[in-house]
Amino acid sequence: MKNLSILIFVLLFSMSLNAQTDLKKPEASQAASVTQRIGLTDITISYHSPLVKGRKIWGEMVPNGEVWRAGANENTTISFTHDVMVEGKPLSSGIYGLHMIPGEKEWTVIFSKNAGAWGSFFYDKNEDALRVTVTPRVAPDQEWLSYSFTAPMPQSVTAELRWEKIAVPFKIDVDVPEIVYNSMRNELTGINGFFWQGYNQAAEYCIQQNVHLDQAGVWVERSLANQKNFKNMNTKAMLLERQGKQQEASALKKEAIEMADEAQLNAYGYQLMGEGKNKEATEIFQLNIKRHPASWNVYDSLGEALLAGGDKNGAATNYKTALSKAPENQKKRISEILKKL
């Protein structure tokens, strides 16, 4: 028993010595990651970045026609928090091992279900989740391997590998409206489901994106039931317009405007300007002046709408009135506008 205790002690001491010699040192190919959000979807690529170091990379160190780990050391990985489309093909949310097969004119980009392997040494084609074919392009010489996201748009982005004089892009599309819709449905089962604002926001988003209009109708009615006000009445009017019910929409808008305060009318005017409805916006700002003649801001907003419509004289008149009523922290801005008229 005594000999066994001594043996265990010796083994533990030996392990301790070995552990103490395993100190952290810089890796030759340093770790890196890059993330891009499209809508509510996060796309992250994690990799190790080797250097060229005077070597011939393509066709030699990285042979054509063979699976390559698309980086150095363990797996390069790419993750998606929601389902996406890669080069027009569907790929479920999750984390994938990212591999590539270089070619003279085309490359194959591989998304493997095995994200924990060491490089491509244990790559198994049977674990592929997706393969896409892409066309590389010539790029300025770059010593280090990198990944980046280029051309971000509201519903898409291009991921790109860069190394030496080659760039390998692959496009990722995201169904943002559907993802936001499902996210809002989920959020409305929490604390936001007790208040009118959440239902109104969800309905408004669906109307703006022209998706799930039946559900938008349900949500706006829930919002109105909680508290009837200018914002959700205006949202319902927007829905009626989408449904081609112009007469009902106009009547509801008129009713909503009667309930609106100064700030709500002002915000509605700018919303109309953003939609390119400058004439309607001007009428709303004029109504706001009629209701709130002592406010400097209503004249400032009408001046902006008139200027956007090309009426410099009318804009100048209203900016002068705004200047006479404005607080000190606004006078310089309005004066600068008047100087340009």
pLDDT tens column, 265-288: 999 999 999 999 999 999 999 999
Packing angle, helices 328-340 and 312-325, rounded to 10? 160
Read off the pLDDT of each residue in 103-117 and give the average, rounded to a whole number: 95
What strand order describes the sheet that includes 41-49? 30-38, 41-49, 77-80, 94-101, 107-112, 128-134
Split at pLDDT 50, 70, 90, the class of 17 is very low
Output the pLDDT for position 119. 84
Read off the pLDDT of each residue in 136-153 and give the average, rounded to a whole number: 96
Q: Is the pTM of this model over 0.85?
A: no
CATH class of the domain at 177-340: mainly alpha
Tokens 């770790």 belong to 31
The tokens for 19 are 């552990």
Which part of the chain is CATH 1.25.40.10?
A: 177-340
End-to-end CA distance of the chain: 100
Read off the pLDDT of each residue in 316-328 and give the average, rounded to a whole number: 95
Angle, CA of 68, 69 and 70, to the nearest 5°: 90
Read off the pLDDT of each residue in 77-101 and give the average, rounded to a whole number: 98
Half-sphere exposure of 117 (CA within 13 A, CB side): 17
Q: Who wins on pLDDT, 25 or 53? A: 53
Residue 94 has pLDDT above 60, yes or no: yes
Read off the pLDDT of each residue in 169-179 and give the average, rounded to a whole number: 98
CB-based contact 301:268 (threshold 8 Å): no
Residue 5 has pLDDT above 70, yes or no: no
Output the pLDDT for position 16. 53
Output the pLDDT for position 173. 98
